[in-house]
Structure 1
Amino acid sequence: MKINWEGVMPAVTTKFTAEGQLDLVMFEKNIKAQIDAGVNGIILGGTLGEASTLTKEEKEVLINTTLRIAEGKIPVIVNIAEQTTSEAVTLAKRAEELGVNGLMLLPPMRYKATDHETVVYFKEIAKSTSLPIMIYNNPVDYKIEVTLDMFEELLKLENIQAVKESTRDISNVVRIRNRFGNRLKVLCGVDTLALESLVTGADGWVAGLVVAYPAETVAIYKLVKAGRVNEAVDIYRWFMPLLELDISPQLVQNIKLAEVATGLGTENVRAPRLPLQGTERERVLSIIDLAMKNRPVLPEYKTI
């Protein structure tokens, strides 16, 4: 399946039972809700998916389950965030064997690689697979920035095709477009900058709160791309307090509480993460409760 690298692509959470096992029943319910809302792809194994706590076997179960649910209707993309190049290459090859449609690559984990090391790392993975690739550029959280000059080198490989742009510099969308045209697709990776990024030329949105509010997220994307920006802004203003839950070290716990509110998940996380407690839990719940009471009526966005 060809990936166009556009539209809304949820970085989905991993569902767990109270006993800490994979909750595939709730996971399937959520994936189906994303597809029904009109998302353009599913991304597995990101930070929000608690990938660092998953075993190799669990990752394969999630991949196979998602491919079965998607039925080839939308692409399934796997995130690679490994500690060594060889581990990353092994996972990329295995993902392709399982039938995954694309990859998202983080820079080397637990080591602040130089620009040269980072480029070589990405290129070694890309050369090991025929799958199309999106580079995750998030220097705020991962301390490594993929600069435009680095992308100039990376784009010599045809299967490196997109960037999840999370530098927090909204003007970077324009810089990328000016430098590379449509050769490098741009997807916003920061929920609180999504509308602004789309207006300035981003092709898509790798979203977090979409796992709890898929329809609202897709509606914003569709309205912006249809030129109905004012309507999109109205929804976005309602959404902003929720979207801010994504830019927190506890984003997983925050977003899973939002999934509980919409019936699309549970708050079970895997240690060392623990469910929110005390005043912070009360604060997050108050944001979610207020949003649920004022949830907007959406236009018929699917027909736009």
Structure 2
Amino acid sequence: MSIQWKGIMPAVTTKFTEKDELDFKMFETNIKAQLDAGVHGIVLGGTLGEASTLIDEEKRALTKTTVDIVKGQVPVFINVAEQSTKGAILAAQKAEEDGASGLMMLPPMRYKACDTETVQYFKTVANNTSLPIMVYNNPVDYKIEVTLDMFEEMLACKNIEAVKESTRDTTNIIRIKNRFGDRLKIMTGVDTLALESLLLGADGWVAGLVCAFPAETVAIYELQKAGRIQEALDIYRWFMPLLELDISPKLVQNIKLAEVATGIGTENVRAPRLPLAGEERKHVLQTIEQALKTRPTLPDYKNLNVSV
């Protein structure tokens, strides 16, 4: 599948049963809700997907199951977050075997690689898979920044095609576009900067709260694309208290509570994570409840006259 790096791509949560096994029934319910809302891709096994707690067999099962559910409607991406280049190559090759359409790749885990090591890491993996790659650039959480000079070297690999831009500096979108044009597609990765990023030229949004509110998320993208900025902004303003649940160390617990509220998820997380409790839980529930009370009526965002 040729990847169209655009639109809304949910970084989906991984569903677990109360016995801490993969909950494929609820997972399918959520994926179908995403597809019904009109998302443009599915991203598996990211931070929100509790990647660090998943064993290899579970990641492969998630990939195969999602490919089967999606049936070619949208591309399916699996996150690669490994400690070694060897491990990353193996993960990429397994993803390809399992039917993934592409990869989202983080820099090396744990070891803080220098610029040269980071560039070589991405290039070596890219040269050992035919899958398209989206580089996840998140120096705030992962302490390694992929600079524009580094991308200049990495783009010698034709299958490094996109960046998940999570530096929190929206002007970086302008810099990337000025330097690389359409050679490096930009998917914004920070929920609370999403609309701004799209208006500055990002091609799409790898989203978090979309897991619970898929229609609202896709509507924002489609409205701004059609030039109906005020309507997109009105939904975005309503959405912001929820979007702020994504920029928290407990984003997984927060978003899973939101999924419960909208009927497309459960609260089950994998230890060492625990469900929210006390005042923390109360605050998140109040945020979700207020949003549900004031939930906007959406226009027919799937059938807009797109002006750009």
> Which TM-score applies when normalising by structure 1?
0.99
Aligned pairs for 1:85-164 (under 5 A) are: 85-164=85-164
1:84 is matched with 84
2:246 is matched with 246
Identity %: 71
Q: Which amino acid aligns with 1:299?
A: P
2:30 is matched with 30
**How far apart, CA to CA, are the structure 2 residues paired with 1:203 and 1:59?**
27
Structure 2 SS opposite 1:299: coil
Structure 2 SS opposite 1:136: strand
Q: Return 5+ residue gaps in structure 1 as ranges.
A: none
> Which TM-score applies when normalising by structure 2?
0.98
Structure 2 SS opposite 1:230: helix
Structure 1 residue 283: Cα displacement: 0.4
Structure 2 SS opposite 1:108: coil
**How far apart, CA to CA, are the structure 2 residues paired with 1:6 and 1:260?**
28
Structure 1 residue 146: Cα displacement: 0.3
2:282 is matched with 282
Structure 1 residue 156: Cα displacement: 0.7
Aligned pairs for 1:137-216 (under 5 A) are: 137-216=137-216
**How far apart, CA to CA, are the structure 2 residues paired with 1:285 and 1:170?**
30
Q: Which amino acid aligns with 1:232?
A: A
Q: How many residues align?
A: 304
Q: Which amino acid aligns with 1:122?
A: F
Structure 1 residue 252: Cα displacement: 0.2
**How far apart, CA to CA, are the structure 2 residues paired with 1:150 and 1:158?**
15
Q: Which amino acid aligns with 1:44?
A: L
**How far apart, CA to CA, are the structure 2 residues paired with 1:199 and 1:171?**
11
Q: Return 5+ residue gaps in structure 2 as ranges.
A: none
Q: Which amino acid aligns with 1:16?
A: F
1:269 is matched with 269
For the aligned residue pairs, the C-alpha RMSD in angstroms reads: 0.5
2:218 is matched with 218
Q: Which amino acid aligns with 1:207?
A: A
Q: What's the CA shift string for 1:136-190, capped at 9, x where partnerless?
A: 0000000000000000001011000000000000101111000000000001000
Q: Which amino acid aligns with 1:195?
A: L
**How far apart, CA to CA, are the structure 2 residues paired with 1:225 and 1:150?**
30
Q: What's the CA shift string for 1:49-98, capped at 9, x where partnerless?
A: 00111111111111111000000110000100011111110010111111
Q: Which amino acid aligns with 1:84?
A: S
**How far apart, CA to CA, are the structure 2 residues paired with 1:121 and 1:100?**
21
**How far apart, CA to CA, are the structure 1 residues paired with 2:251 and 2:73?**
29
**How far apart, CA to CA, are the structure 2 residues paired with 1:131 and 1:19?**
34
Structure 2 SS opposite 1:183: coil
**How far apart, CA to CA, are the structure 2 residues paired with 1:296 and 1:203?**
25
Structure 1 SS opposite 2:210: helix
**How far apart, CA to CA, are the structure 2 residues paired with 1:89 and 1:71?**
26
**How far apart, CA to CA, are the structure 2 residues paired with 1:225 and 1:289?**
29
**How far apart, CA to CA, are the structure 2 residues paired with 1:241 and 1:226?**
25
The answer to whether 1:230 aligns with 2:191 is no
**How far apart, CA to CA, are the structure 2 residues paired with 1:291 and 1:188?**
23
**How far apart, CA to CA, are the structure 2 residues paired with 1:43 and 1:289?**
27
**How far apart, CA to CA, are the structure 1 residues paired with 2:196 and 2:244?**
15
Q: Which runs of 4+ in 1 moved over 2 A?
A: none
Structure 1 residue 235: Cα displacement: 0.1
Q: What's the CA shift string for 1:244-285, capped at 9, x where partnerless?
A: 000000000000000000001011000000001100000000
**How far apart, CA to CA, are the structure 2 residues paired with 1:129 and 1:64?**
18
**How far apart, CA to CA, are the structure 2 residues paired with 1:104 and 1:64?**
16
**How far apart, CA to CA, are the structure 2 residues paired with 1:8 and 1:102?**
15
Structure 1 residue 99: Cα displacement: 1.3
Q: Which amino acid aligns with 1:142?
A: Y
Q: What's the CA shift string for 1:24-70, capped at 9, x where partnerless?
A: 00000000000110000000000000011111111111111100000
**How far apart, CA to CA, are the structure 2 residues paired with 1:10 and 1:99?**
18
Q: What's the CA shift string for 1:206-252, capped at 9, x where partnerless?
A: 00000000000000000011111100000000000000000000000
Structure 2 SS opposite 1:186: strand
